[in-house]
Amino acid sequence: MKNIAIIPARGGSKRIPEKNIQLFGGLPLLVHSIQYALANSTIIDDIYVSTDDSTIKRVALANGAKVIDRPEALSGDLEPTITAVKHVLESIESDVENVILLQPTNPLRPQNLLKEAFDIYKKGKYDSLFTVTRNHQKFGKITENKFQPFNYTIGQRSQDLEPLFFENGLLYISKASLILPPDCTLADSKIISENAFPFEVNHIFANIDIDTPEDLEYSEYLLKKHTLSR
């Protein structure tokens, strides 16, 4: 049975037009995730890009990925990622055991991240794994012009906060049977299960999720800095 990577990359993007093929480090943004999957060929057997866009399709094919044409009905702004991933599994004939989800908006990943995460996933016999990062900020909400701390008390030091974590989007690993269980409806499909393993990644790359031009600019800075430090 195969392990496949799925990279969802639709064409529509409002804040950064044609975001998934914007040049980043001299390459279309999407290509960084394809190259990461190719570099992990000992784990990943096939790479699939799900897209509704002809230009993204050409870029993906030219860089070593297979393409699943995503229907317009599954390509809207509010469409959840699970529908694209589920559609890929429904569209291919391969006997898939595990799915590695790589989002193109997270182009920078620690080199050994997938190997380390996949080892834990297999040894622990988990049905899913996702990456998280510890938060060190003080959160609260404003109600009736009053600030109400959420995860701390006023005056408390940041280093004394109770650990909280955020889902950083670097990668997800799921059993194909979790995403596409027999006789399932969309409500039954999941990428992250209730028993998913939260794999902690405390790396500067975990703070990158490209959604705005400022995100892209900051990511370029980190890429150059990381490259020069090698």
Maximum separation of any 2 CA atoms in the chain, in Å:
58
- Is 195 within 8 Å of 126 (Cβ atoms)? yes
Residue 64 DSSP one-character state:
T
Q: Rounded to 5 degrees, what are φ and ψ at 205?
A: -65, -25
Amino acid at 44: I
Residue 149's H or E segment, with its range, is: strand 146-149
Amino acid at 130: F
Q: Annotated catalytic, 70?
A: no
Question: What is the distance between the alpha carbons of residues 193 and 130, in angstroms, rounded to a whole number?
Answer: 10
Question: What is the distance between the alpha carbons of residues 170 and 209, in angstroms, rounded to a whole number?
Answer: 9
Active-site annotation holder among 70, 134, 157, 230: 157
- Is 77 within 8 Å of 141 (Cβ atoms)? no
Q: Rounded to 5 degrees, what are φ and ψ at 208?
A: -100, 125
For the sheet containing 128-135, what is the strand order? 66-69, 46-51, 2-8, 96-101, 164-175, 128-135, 197-200
Active-site annotation, residues: 157
